[in-house]
Amino acid sequence: MLPTLIPGTLTIASAYPDPPFVIMQDGTATGFEIELMRSVCQQLGLTLRTVGYDGDDFNGIFNGLDQPTCDAVISGTTITPERASRVLFSQPYLTFQQGVAINRRLSPHVAAISDLRGLTAGIQSGNTSDAVAKRLLAEGHIKDIRYYPYRSIGAALDDLVAGRIGLIIKLFPVLSSLVAERADLAVVMQVPTHEQIGIAYNKNRADLCNAVDAAIQTLRQNGTFALLQSKWFGSAAATV
């Protein structure tokens, strides 16, 4: 059996809420990646254990791989060179773009990047949307950037509803899920970033990484992966 933090159990860390990747419903973890990892654990003969991360900066979640307090980080995590310098990433399994949400009541004219001029963008600390916001700011497309602790996405959404910020940038499927029940808000565009999503491990755990990759490949072959993708994302995701 693969060695894990708790023998016989795979402990994964996630930053909730990050729908539809990871969600807490009535105190129970679910979402695409949670269901995927439950299926992976069945393949590997392991029990799944989920732990939440509530730090201010998303990148702090990777500290748990060194301490260690988890075996893997799975939370709609974009593979970037900076992150890959400190953790080992799985093979990517989905690709997404960044989404831009606005207040349709206060900014009904916004339909393109050029329409964002004068607006302040809300960004979660440590989110890959920061690079998009900084580029838009440098190019003069937005007025400013306001940063929120990663766990405070609800406060950012409240500020967008109230008009205290003009837009939020976040991975398209997550942002679409978060604004779904807020009538004034809508994701009006995507910014092409082609972000590949993967699972992070301690750099010394190639054995675990390879075993999970192989299990996911089996789930692709038997149709389970496609079923989960359709259930949680519809046609919004592109597989890698």
- Maximum Cα interatomic distance, the chain, rounded to a whole number of Å: 57
Q: Indicate yes or no: pTM above 0.85.
A: yes
3-state class (DSSP) for residue 229:
helix
50 neighbors 36 (Cβ within 8 angstroms)? no
Closest CA to 183 of 116, 121, 106: 106
Q: Is the pLDDT of residue 236 over 80?
A: no
pLDDT in tens, 63-110: 999 999 999 999 999 999 999 999 999 999 999 999 999 999 999 999
List the domains of the chain with CATH numbers: 9-94+196-239 (3.40.190.10), 96-194 (3.40.190.10)
Q: What gap in Å lies between CA 163 and CA 198, rounded to an integer?
A: 34
Residue 1: pLDDT over 70: yes
The pLDDT of residue 235 = 64
Of 16-20, 77-81, 128-132, 232-236, the least confident? 232-236
Residue 200 binned pLDDT confidence (cut-offs 50, 70, 90): very high
